[in-house]
Every structure is written in C-alpha cells, then in structure tokens.
Structure 1
Amino acid sequence: MKIRRILATAVVAAVTTPAVMLSVTPAFADTKPAEQTQAPAEAQAQAQKQAQAQNKPTLKELEKAAAEAQKAYDAALAAEKAAEAAVEAATADTAPLAVAAKTARKTADDAAAAKDTADKAVKDAQKTLDELAETATDEERKAAEKALSDATTAAEKAAAAHTTAETDAKAAQKLLDDARVEAFRVLHKAREAVKETRAAKTAADAAVERAKEEENQGGGEECVDDPGLTTTVTGFPDTVTAGTVTTFSVRVANDTGKDLDKVLTYAGVHATDKDGVKDIAKYLKLKWSTAASPKWQNVDGDLYIDAIGALEQGKQADIKLRLDVDAKAPAGQGLTFIAGDYFNEDGSCGLTPDAAVNEFDIKAAAAEPVTKPSPEPSTTAPAAGSGVTPQGSGSSVPVNTANGTLAATGSSDATAQLALAAGAAVALGAGAVFITRRRRAGADA
C-alpha cells in the first residue's frame, strides 16, 4: 500500500525554505479544517486526495533538502571549531584584554601602596607636631606644621590617583570578563546549532530513505484526512524517569457526520539520547487498557490499538495508555504520537489530520532505582471535561499531517529561530515513522 509522505513535505519546507519556520513574527498552525463546499461527499474526498498528492515532494526534492541539511551541519561544525578557538584565545593570559587588565591592576595596586605611604606620612607629621615641646621655637613649630600640610596634600593626591587607578582596573577587568563571557556564549550557541543541524540532517536523510521505500512499494490509494475524527491526550507529564511507569488517557471522538464501522487508535513512541543522535526507543514500551478490557496489554507491532470497534456519530471512546520506561534508559528526549484511523465496510477510510504529539524529557535513574508495580487501571474512564490529569499536565502539540505544518511562535533571536527549525525537523523525523505506519491496509492492523 502507498505510504503517506506528508511529513516529508514539512522536512523540505523546514530545510529549503527556512523563512517558513523562522519567521520573526508569531506563526500559528492553522488548526481549522478547510471550508467545505456543498459538493457530494465523493467529490469532496476526491478533491482532498488531489490536494494531498500535490503537497508531496518528489524524491529529487527530498534529496536536495538532505543536501542542504548536510551543508548546514557542516557549517555548524565549522562555526563550533571557530568558537572553540575564540574561547581559547579569550582565556589565554597573553590575550590583549588580559594583558591590559593585568597592567591596570598592577597600576591600581601600586597606587594603593603609594596612598598607604602618604597616609602614614600624614600620621607621622601629625605626631611630630603634637609632640613638640613647649620650649620649641616658632621656626620649629612652623616647620612641623608645613610638613603636616605637605604630607596632607600628598596624601590627597595619592588618594585621587588610587581612585582613578582602581576605576580603570575594574573597567579593564570588566572588559576582559565580558569578552570571555561572550566567547563562551557564542560557543554554547555554536554547540547547540551543531545538535540542531545534526538532528535536521538526520530527519532529512530519513525522509529520503522513506521516500525510496515508498516508491519501491508503490500501488494503493491513501485514506483521506477527516477533521471530524479527533484524538485528545490528557495527563501526560513533561518528564519521565527511568525505572518508572506513567499513565495517561486518550479520548477518540467521532464528529465526522457518519457512523464508523471500525476505529483504530495509533500509538507510537520515539526517543533519542541527549545529543539527539542515538535511538533509545527500545527502552520505552506502551501498553493500553479500557473499561471493557482493564488488563494492561502491549501495543502491537503495527502500533495500532484495536479497542474501540464501531463508533457512532457524536460518540466518543476512552483508552488508557501506560508508558513503561526501562530502568536502564539513559537521559534523553522523547515524543509520543497518538492518532486515529477509521475503516468502513464500503471501502472508505479516514485519518485524523492532526496527530497529538507529546514531547517529554527522560531522566536517568538513580544509582539503585526502585520500580514500583503499577496497579490495575480503574475501569471508570475520566468524565468528559473533567480536566483530570493524574500523572502531570504535559501538553499535546498537534502535528498537522495534511499540509505539513507545525505550530510555532516567533522570535527575533537567531538561536531561538534555529532551535525552532531544528526541533521541528527532529519531530518530523520521528513523525515520518508515524506516517509510514499509517497505511490504508490498517483494516487488518
């Protein structure tokens, strides 16, 4: 069956047209379905299929995007190397600013010593004047008074010189510190750019491989995107820890305008290490249960959950999911993809245009992690609109698989913009796996 390549379109957009992803003004994904005409349902479905086909990039376009991603990664590596050299130069004792700061500090220290000497001379002159005998002549008294006056004047000049020298020394040190901080800041941004462009390159390369696989498979037609079928995730946390389990809920709702003969829920998880390079998904397992089947069951190899069956128009169904994180899981980042498909006896089928994507951090376990057994899930599903989030309040980020767009917020900072594009590419790389698994043959998934 023909694989959907919608997310690959977004990879191309993220790499070849960064203005799409890096707008300095806020950009929001359009979550409203396109306004439908009053044409018959079959004509609407056909028009939607044609629109989807037009959005698909060619293999040549994907290969071009991968080449651009490679160039960006190479440039980031070069920038990182230059930034490391700049840090080394800025922190060297022979750096011009370091030499200037050292010289200014010595001048200030010498001025401080001169001030101390001048202050001592004032005290000595005052003592000499105070200890003059009553038999001292006027000339002796005038000489002592002049010595005190001269010492006081010299002390005032020494104090002023010390103040100036100390101010200059502090200013020189600040220039040195600021230059070194800036060098380290640039290095940090360069290293982040390396991570981000490496992730974008990985996603682009994966899109090329998946496109080649799709062309080799060939045949078949795709199901249409149907905004009337929705999946909503609640209770997913922002962080999970190795050796623990996390439960959350998924609600599948049918507002398609028709009864559905069979509804499947797609549930996948993707994870990488902290550098975004090594795939660590093997340490994460998804399980599911429902009120009718309260015993936890593993999500099958096709990542589909066949727990709902038929779903009437206007109805909804709840599924509980559990994410088990192996105690050996290293620190990293993860994504879960939750979506829905339906298949009718007349041969029609549809997909949720927006996959619910939850991003989360993975913390490594302590030295001796203790895994607590998870109790059997409650057979009572949370009430609609209850807002219950038993395991946290992580938000779901919709990935629009119909036109390859991601919700984003604008920023005038170049690093934030690069992070947005690269972060989107990482999500797209994982999401492309999600897309390739959702096939029209899902009726027997």
Structure 2
Amino acid sequence: MKIRRILATAVAAAVTTPVILLSVTPALADAKPSAASQAQQQGEQDKPSIEELEKAAEKAQKAYDDAVAAGKAARVVLEAALSDDAPLTVAAVNARKKAADAATAKANADKALADAKAALAALSETATAEEKAAAEKAVTDAETAALSAEDAKATADEKAATAGRVADDARVAAAREYSTVQNATKEALKAKEAADKALADAKEEAEQDEPECVFESKLSTVVTGLPSKIVAGSTTDFSLRVTNGTDKTLDEVSPYVYFHATDKSGYHVIDDAFHLQWSTAASPTWKSVEEDGNAGSISPLKAGAHADVKLRLKVDAKAPAGDGLAFVAGDYINDDESCGVNRSSEYAFELLAAGSVADDAKPGKTTPQTPDNRPQGLTSTTPVDYGNPAGTGSLASTGTPSALPQLAAAAGAAVALGAVVVFVGRRQKAGSAS
C-alpha cells in the first residue's frame, strides 16, 4: 500500500531533515476526474494490462539476452576467422607457398631449357653424331620439363587464388554476421527499453489511479507509560492504544512508532541507540519494530473498539545524554482498498547518561486524542502553513523537558509530517482502484 511507504518515508524525513520544504497544501481535495469521451473510454479498454506488459517485458528481456549471447558467439567466430591460425587462412598460406615453389620450379625448368638449347647451338661442326643426338635429346627433355613446370605453376596459382578467396570470403562472412548480430542486439535493446518503459508508465498510472487515502481524525494512537526521562542502558516498557472512533470496521490498522534524539549539542543524531520491540495479545512474542517504524498490525478493528500494542524500548548504554521525540502515527486499509491515516503525535523526553537516577521520570499525562485535545508532548495542533517557505507551524506546549531548541528542526519537521499525511489524501481519484 503506497500510503504506508509514504508515511514511513515522511517519518524518517521528519526526524532527519533540518528544513522541510514541501510545496503542498494541508487541505484535503476531492478532485473528480473529468468526463471521458467515448473514444477515450475505448482507448482505455484497448490498453494492455500490467500483467500483459510484464509478459511483454519478460519476452523483450529474453530476446535481448539471446541477442547479446549471439553477439558474443559471433565475436568468437569473427576473431577465429581473422586469426592467423584459422584453418582456411592456413590453407591459403600453404597454397601460396606451393604456388611460389611451382614458380621457382618453372623458372628452373625454363633456365634448363635455355641452357640445353644453348649447348645444342654451341656444338662445333666436328661434333659427332652421338654428341648431336645427346644435345638434341637434352633440349627435348628440357622442353618437356618446362611444359610440366608451367602446368604445375598454373595449377598451384589457381589453388592459391581459390584458397585466398575462400579465406577472404570466410572473414567477410564472419564480419557481416557480427555486424548483423550487433544491429539485432541494438534493436532488441530498443524493444526491451520500450517494453520496460511501457510497463513502468502503466505501473505509475496505476499508482496514480489508486483510491484516495483520507485523513482520519477519529483513528487515534495514544502512548501511555512513556516517562519524560529515560536513562541510557535501561529498558522501558510502555504501550500504545489504537482506537477506532469511526462508525465502521477498519479491516487492517497499522501503528507506527519512531524514536529520534540528539546529544545535548543538538547536532549529533543518535537514533541508532534506540531499539524498539512490540507485541500484542494476538502476537505475544516480542518482535523488532521495522526500520520504517511499523509496529505490527491489528486486523480487524471494529467501530468504537481499541487495541493495545505493548512496546519495549532498549537504549544503548553508550548513548550520550540528550533530548528526543517519540513519533506516533497510524493508518488503515480496508478490503475495498479504501485507506486513511491519522496525524502524528510527538512525545518529548530527556535522555540521561548511563548510571543516572531519574527519580522524576514519571509517565506523561495521556488524554484521548481529538482534534482539540492532543496527548502530552510536542504535538502538531494545526497543519503547517506551506505558504511559509520555512515550513513552520504551531506546536502545543509541553510539560516534559523545559526547552528543546536543539530539537526545533525535528519538531518543525513533525508538524510537516502531519501535513505530509494530509497530502497523501490529495491524490486524485481515477474512478476505481487498479
């Protein structure tokens, strides 16, 4: 539920941000959507559902992953084709070597033929018939060898050219395939990004179309038993009563509790020194309060009924003396997805160093929480005037620590938190819940 996420974030922001600059008004708005035309209604009906968009995004992601894998494989093939050790490249090199050898053999045969012809021509007139016959035979044999060498060279040249073309074709084919796969990967990435954006837009639109959460003043969260002075290293048990003052059952109610404190300088935040646990009659085992302040849930809470949440606060013994605030709030969500939240209350306390004796550490007075009667502590009494850039508002007086100037920022933020909760209710309705 979005309201819980916003509330938890608001609590954390309220106690850690020194200046609140929220540009919202504290008034609840009930802005109804304008009438849609028939064409617009048809367009809404034709929109794919989030489930369909999720499936499309999954398919697009898989297609992109497959394209990336294919790209890696194509890269391997390209590198292999370009390598000097590629089989076709080796074959081409060998063919060129054989062609070179054949060229050398032909050159040698041509020289032998020329030498034989020269020897025949150089015979003297006194040469015997045997000498002339031998010289003529040498020429004939050299001519035969030269023709054979010429044929061998032609064959070797053709094989070298063919092997070279085959090797070149393989390299070109690998490069083209790699380029094709790269382009396919780019297109797959575009499709994936488009599918992701469509899904994100649909989810954002669905969140905007969530039913409006309202400020519910009759849902009260009141702390009892929290002393005005707490000693570091101690364990303090107190309780939180959640009351449904409305005339309807609230299907699920969630209380929130958050402790914020600084040392006496007012600049060193020591929130990590506080460890909070909760338990209820339905869930008696002690459980840690979540980081967002969620202290379990009450399901359901009938009209006029209340439920108590036991709380146990443990403070680190090494925590320095300081001043703090306990923030308390609550929200609900019903089965029909209607939801609401109350404005936060703040309880001021003084943190004493370990070993101190807090004789006057009495629980603050607790009274029913109504718009005109808030529980003791620094409590928001009116929404923040957001026309004031400083984000300040009015605070109730406190009977706990006398003056907490070092917590002024946190107190102002607490008032802002009340307005943030109200701001949650300003989201426009879009007809029905998505």
Establish whether TM, by shorter chain, passes 0.5.
Answer: no
Question: In terms of Rg, which structure is larger?
Answer: 2
TM-score tier after normalising by the smaller chain length: 0.3 to 0.5
TM-score (norm 2): 0.42
